[in-house]
Structures are given as C-alpha cells and as structure tokens.
C-alpha cells in the first residue's frame, strides 16, 4: 500500500506570494492533518480534516487555510507569505479522527520564503 | 492535553538496549501514551502506544509505571538507524480528533 504522498517536495517563493501544497493520504484513510515544523517552534499542529470538514485548527493566522476533497486528498494554502513561513510542512493521514488512531506522515514539503 | 517531560538528548552504542524515559504526572485516566520518532530528513513515524499495560511490537517495547505517571520506551538492540528524535505524546482516547501535540522530544544518538 502506498504511503502518504506530498507534492511538491521543495518550493521556493518570495514574500507576499501565496502557495498551495498537496497531500494524498493512504488509500482508505479519511482523516488528514497538517503540521508545520521549524527549528524554533518544532512540530506544530495546523489543522485537521475529516469528510471534507475542518474538525480542528491550531493556533495559526487566517493566512493558513486548507480543504479536503471527496477522495480525501487535501490541500493547504498560505497566502501573503512571510519569511517566518519557511518551514517543513507535513501531512499525516489516519483511518478516522480518533485519539487512539495511528497517524502516518508523509515526507513533507520544504517551503523556503525569500 | 496533559504535558510530557523528556530528556533533551541521550546516547547509546550500537547493539545495546536503550531506555527512553517520559514523565507525565498529570495524565488522565483516558490518556493513551503514544511514541513517535522522526528520523533525519523524514516525517515522524509511529512507534508504539499503550494505556495501562506494557506493550510490545516489532519496533520497541513500552513499559508503563503502575501509577501511569511515567513510561519508558525500550529499544532492545539499538542500531544506527534508530538515531532519531523520539516524541512521547499523550492523546485522549475519548476525544475525537487526530491532533498530535509534539514537545521537543529526546534526540537519540547511536554510535558504532
């Protein structure tokens, strides 16, 4: 079974631009979560989607948004990019959004904002 | 979510057992103890989880204290591939939602 895939793997943008990252969960998984990883803040939860609905959101500004499609694929968008948005963005999928469910992470998208 | 405390770093030699401690003194009755690890340049991966009893799988063992205020992840024979950051995370089993609240974790170094 294929793992979680994220595209693109690397991205370079300039301040003020917007970016869209894509995540394809493991087949059959219906829950997708996004995380941001930076050297200073570590791994931080962004948001979680299940059945095309955002179920939970972390403490990030409204510039960060996401959506989930009927096939469970998810995208996240960051508008008006800032230098501090440079990070590794990780997507994780699980069967259902339960506290005991295992999350499977993708390799991440490395975003650099210049 | 209840918080966990882990040492910043630990060192081990290849082929030796490694015991990674985690303190969670404010754990609630419905909190599961999860361990994830992140190898260099990769996303985190699930290692093991448990509620009250000790657990074993092909990757590791999880020893949970009787009062559940601490736990230990045991790697029985460390390999170079086990060098990673290990995260101990509490998750409420009664609560819907998948958010993992990561702390700083323990960076494990393995020497040959």
What tokens does B64 get?
Answer: 């949970």
Those residues of chain B whose CB sits closer than 8 Å to some CB in chain A are 32, 36, 42-46, 49, 87, 91-105
B99: nearest CB among A42, A45, A104: A45
3-state secondary structure chain A: CCCCEEECCEEEECCCCCEEEEEECCCCCCEEEEEEEECCCEEEEEEEEECCEEEEECCCCCCEEEEECCCCCEEEEECCCCHHHCEEEEEEEECCCECCCCCEECCCEEEEEC
Return the pLDDT at A23.
98
Minimum Cα–Cα distance from A34: chain B residue:
B99
For residue B2, name the pLDDT band (cuts at 50, 70, 90): low
Mean pLDDT along residues B64-78: 96
pLDDT: which is higher, A35 or B91: A35
Contacts of B70 (CB under 8 A, 6+ apart): B21, B22, B23, B24, B25
Burial label for B8, CB within 10 Å (0-12, 13-18, 19+), is exposed
Q: Over the stretch A61-83, which tens digit does the pLDDT of each residue have? A: 999 999 999 999 999 999 999 99
Query: Are the Cβ atoms of B43 and A105 closer than 8 angstroms?
Result: yes
Q: What residues pair up with B10 in beta bridges, in sequence order?
A: B108
Minimum Cα–Cα distance from B90: chain A residue:
A99
């Amino acid at each position: 079974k294929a793992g979680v895939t994220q595209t693109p793997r690397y991205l370079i943008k300039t301040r003020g631009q917007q970016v869209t990252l894509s995540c394809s969960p493991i087949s059959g998984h219906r829950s997708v979560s996004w995380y941001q990883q930076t050297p200073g803040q570590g791994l931080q939860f962004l948001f979680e989607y299940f059945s095309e609905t955002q179920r939970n959101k972390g403490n990030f500004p409204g510039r960060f948004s996401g959506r989930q499609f009927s096939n469970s694929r998810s995208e996240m968008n960051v508008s008006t990019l800032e230098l501090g948005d440079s990070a590794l963005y990780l997507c994780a999928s699980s069967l259902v959004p339960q506290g005991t469910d295992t999350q499977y992470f993708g390799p991440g998208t490395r975003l650099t904002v210049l | 979510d209840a918080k966990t405390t882990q040492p910043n770093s630990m060192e081990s030699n290849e082929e030796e057992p490694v015991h990674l401690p985690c303190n969670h003194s404010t754990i609630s009755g419905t909190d599961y103890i999860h361990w994830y690890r992140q190898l260099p340049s990769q996303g985190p991966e699930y290692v093991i989880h448990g509620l009250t009893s000790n657990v074993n799988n092909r990757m590791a063992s999880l020893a949970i204290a009787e009062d559940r205020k601490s736990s230990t992840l045991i790697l029985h024979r460390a390999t170079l591939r086990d060098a990673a950051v290990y995260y101990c995370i509490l998750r409420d089993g009664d609560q819907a939602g998948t958010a993992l609240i990561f702390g700083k974790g323990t960076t494990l170094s393995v020497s040959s």
